[in-house]
Amino acid sequence: MHQTRQCLQSLLCASLGWGLVAWGSVDADILHRYTIRVDEELNILQVEACFDGVPPRILQTSSDEAQQYLSEFRVVSSGSRLYPDGRYMRLGRLGENACVSYRVDAGAAAQHQKKDEMGLARRVGDDLLVSPQLWFWRPRSLDADTDIEIVFDLPNGVNVSVPWHTVERDGSRVVCHVGHTPYSWSATVAFGDFEVTKISVDNMTLRVAMLDGDRPYDRDKMLRWLHAALENVRGAYGKLPRQEPQVVIVPVGEKGEPVPFGRVIRGGGGAVQFFVDPSYSLQRFTGDWTATHEFSHLLLPFVSRNGAWLSEGLATYYQNVLMARAGEYSEHKAWQKLHEGFQRGIRNTRGDQTLLDASRNMRRDGAYMRVYWTGTAIALLADLELRQRTGGQISLDLAMQRFADCCLPSDKTWQARDVMQRLDQLVGETVFVPLHDRYIESSDFPELHDAYRALGLDVSRDEVSLDDGAPLAALRKAIMTGKTEQLADENSPTISPAP
Ligand SMILES: [Zn+2]
């Protein structure tokens, strides 16, 4: 229904009572239908796409390589063959409700994949991870009243894990609606012999698929770890945003830590991928910060690459704060880890590169520590100033809670400054934008000496000790406990973000 979708894109939804309607469950006026069949060996995807009404003139993928693995593209009614032109497939004028069919050699794509890269397809044991860019030749854009329904018609013993909203899951038939996230946002679909297990905490439901490892592993332990990490993130403001991310667990054999790598991708509604060594104990998993970091990313929408400092900084700040609130870190350990991170950030800061430039070129320049920890410092300074100005009544936590209420889920790319501006509006203060404007064009790491002194973070030979007699010691504890506490001295000097 057109009006409903319009409503969901506006801030009026909550007052109209639509706030509880999950994004993907909205019916579209126009619904194209793709049916995907896969063989038991997970090599070939056979796709039939039937268009609702007038078919698009062009289909596209976002990958130049996809055409290598595409064959037998036909118009179903006439049998006439069509051939791709790079990442485009020109259909010309087809009759109303026409169908096309094609074949995608996912097995070959997986074979050609470089080791340890996701690329278009990757084998994980006997299971298969594929990017929709490999097989999803779809209309170049979808109007707000149009959606695509994908029906997976699976052989016995094969399941599918998707990022999209699933409307039906009935044995070998899985139906989902893809929605309107940009095609350029990464996504992954997994096929294999696994269950899709749901874990819910508050409003968030994880849809977890655990892929095949080189040896059996304790799946119950993995679920307990994910549940604990979600509970940690609930510690930010007592709730979790309404989302149902796909979670894919990829076992990677013996590594030096339980979770060597994790990432959040946003295509189709959001997903978190964890690469794990399942041989570690549950205690080692819950003591690892990676899952808390990744789920903390879901407190914000997708932020443009220029704003990597914001998304990574917020997740890195919260990973430490939330591990402390959960009791996994002592207050001291959390501040020690923040301090060590800030030092890494300072060492990685080049005097001739602005934060904007470092964020934009983070990968090329290896500017990860600079970007992550500058963002973390800005998150700390914002949290501190909000708490100081308001006697602890308003904090970063409250700002994030209000942001989730107003603006999540979101299928657009946000600019960092727009997020900061919205946060200021939501708490009625002017804290975030001045911090943004001060540091975005700066080549310096944020100045933290005054904050350290006020909080009672004494540093000697890189070891932090906590001074409970410091003016903002109560505030310092409040950050790491999540409990509101009155400031020790309401007249204590504020630490201004302005020079
Ligand atoms: Zn991150």
* pLDDT reported for residue 489: 44
Centroid of ligand 1 to alpha carbon of 276 (angstroms): 16
**Alpha carbon of 56 to ligand 1 centroid (Å):** 37
Q: Do residues 75 and 113 share a domain?
A: yes
Number of independent structural domains in the chain: 3
User: What pLDDT was estimated at residue 103?
Assistant: 98
Task: Say whether pLDDT at 272 is over 50.
Answer: yes
Contact between residue 42 and residue 127 where contact means Cβ atoms under 8 Å apart = yes
Instruction: Please give the average per-residue pLDDT across 27-35, as a whole number.
Output: 93
Same domain, 431 and 444: yes
pLDDT at 20: 34
Cα angle, residue 420 at apex, residues 418 and 424 outer, rounded to 5°: 115
Verify that 343 and 427 share a domain, yes or no: yes
Measure 311 CA to ligand 1 centroid, in angstroms. Answer: 7
User: For residue 285, how many C-alpha atoms fall within 13 Å in the half-sphere facing its CB?
Assistant: 22
Judgement on whether residues 314 and 409 belong to the same structural domain of the protein: yes
Domain for residue 491, yes or no? no
Ligand 1 centroid, distance to 316 Cα (angstroms)? 7
- Cis peptide leading into 497, omega within 30 of 0? no
Statement to judge: residues 392 and 468 lie in one domain:
yes
Evaluate if residue 322 carries a pLDDT over 80: yes
Confidence of residue 484 (pLDDT cuts 50, 70, 90): low
CA distances from 367 to 53, 351, 358, 417, 439 (A): 49, 12, 6, 20, 16
pLDDT tens-digit map of 47-91: 999 999 999 999 999 999 999 999 999 999 999 999 999 999 999
Of the pLDDT bands very low, low, confident and very high (cuts 50, 70, 90), residue 26 is: low
- Is the pLDDT at 8 greater than 70? The verdict is no
Is the pLDDT score of 10 beyond 50? no
Last residue of a domain, one of 297, 317, 337: 297
Q: Give me the domain span that covers residue 267.
A: 197-297
Q: Find the 128 Cα to ligand 1 centroid distance in Å.
A: 25
Handedness of CA 248, 252, 257, 258 (dihedral sign): positive
ipTM, two decimals: 1.00
Lowest mean pLDDT of 38-42, 347-351, 401-405, 443-447, name the range. Answer: 347-351
Provide the pLDDT for residue 118.
73
Domain boundary among 268, 297, 326: 297
Token couple for 119:
């690329």
State the average pLDDT over residues 407-422: 96
Domain end call among 159, 193, 227: 193
Same domain, 388 and 435: yes
Average pLDDT over residues 375-399: 97
pLDDT at 16 over 90: no
In eight-state DSSP terms, residue 491 is T
Q: What are phi and psi of 93, to 5 degrees?
A: -95, 110
CB atoms within 10 A of CB 310: 28
128 and 244 both lie in a single domain: no
348 and 279 in a common domain:
no
Contact 455, 494 (CB under 8 A): no
pLDDT score for 50: 98
- Ligand 1 centroid to 234 CA: how many Å? 17
CATH code of the domain containing 62: 2.60.40.3650
- Ligand 1 center–CA 306 separation, angstroms: 14
Answer for the pair 493, 475: CB distance below 8 angstroms, yes or no.
no
pLDDT tens for 180-211 read: 998 889 999 999 999 999 999 999 999 999 99
Q: Does 214 have pLDDT greater than 90?
A: no
SS3 content of the chain, % helix, strand, coil (to 5): 35, 25, 40
- Which one has a higher pLDDT value, 422 or 487? 422
What pLDDT band is residue 485 in, cutting at 50, 70 and 90? low
16 CA from centroid of ligand 1 (Å) = 35
Q: What is the number of alpha carbons within 13 Å of residue 21 lying toward its C-beta? A: 18
User: Ligand 1 centroid to 297 CA: how many Å?
Assistant: 7
Q: What distance in angstroms lies between residue 317's CA and the mean position of ligand 1's atoms? A: 11
Task: Tell me whether residue 236 is exposed, middle or buried, using C-beta atoms within 10 angstroms of its C-beta: 0 to 12, 13 to 18, 19 or more.
Answer: buried
Q: How far is the CA of 322 from the centre of ligand 1 (A)?
A: 15
Better pLDDT: 207 or 141: 207
DSSP string, 336-350: HHHHHHHHHHHHT--
What does the mean pLDDT of the chain come to? 91
**pLDDT for residue 345 is more than 50:** yes
Q: 346 alpha carbon to ligand 1 midpoint, in Å?
A: 19
